[in-house]
Amino acid sequence: MQSRQALFLVSALLFVCSVGFVVLSARSSRSSAAPAPVTDALAPVASVRHIMRGIVDPAATVVFDAVSTTITAAGTEEKAPRTAEEWDAVANSAAALAEAGNLLVIGTRAVDHQDWARWSRDLSAAATIALKAAEARDAAGVFASGEAIYNACDGCHRKYERTE
């Protein structure tokens, strides 16, 4: 599981860096006399499916799996990040979720400007709470944020399950 999380983080960082390099190279290739409008930098590249499979699903899995309590006949087992690297992985995943909520409303990705936009904002807000909790090393806060993240995802999927 640790190697899977590490692989995901490396993949996510490479993806983000690649996008950054593309944006920087596009900006540097344009004439400095005529600056490009900001909307050019916000042109969608990935589909909703790409965002879900490449960002939301893996990041949500890290956040959801970070903190748990398992009660068995043998006793209670508490699971929470212990090292700085584990906490950073949770924080990075929460940040990715928060930004994914923003990505879902850019350009033509927004199916409508009512529920789709609301659930995207709800995802960003809940993930920001998880990010702050992870940065504070607050396992209970990370756990509590999971319900709001789940509700944002579930509400959207119930209405738009075929949109991806």
pLDDT attached to residue 49: 93
pLDDT attached to residue 163: 45
pLDDT attached to residue 146: 94
Domains for the chain: give ranges and CATH numbers: 45-160 (1.20.120)
Mean pLDDT of all residues in the chain? 82
pLDDT attached to residue 21: 44
Three-class SS state of 136: coil
pLDDT, one tens digit per residue, over 43-94 is 788 999 999 999 999 999 999 999 998 898 998 999 999 999 999 999 999 9
User: Which residues, in sequence order, are bridge partners of residue 70?
Assistant: 77
- Strongest mean pLDDT among 6-10, 114-118, 131-135: 131-135
Compute the distance between CA of residue 58 and CA of residue 4 in angstroms, rounded to an integer: 10
Q: Which of 33, 56, 77 lies closest to 120, judged by CA?
A: 56
- For the chain, what is the radius of gyration of the CA atoms? 18
pTM: 0.71
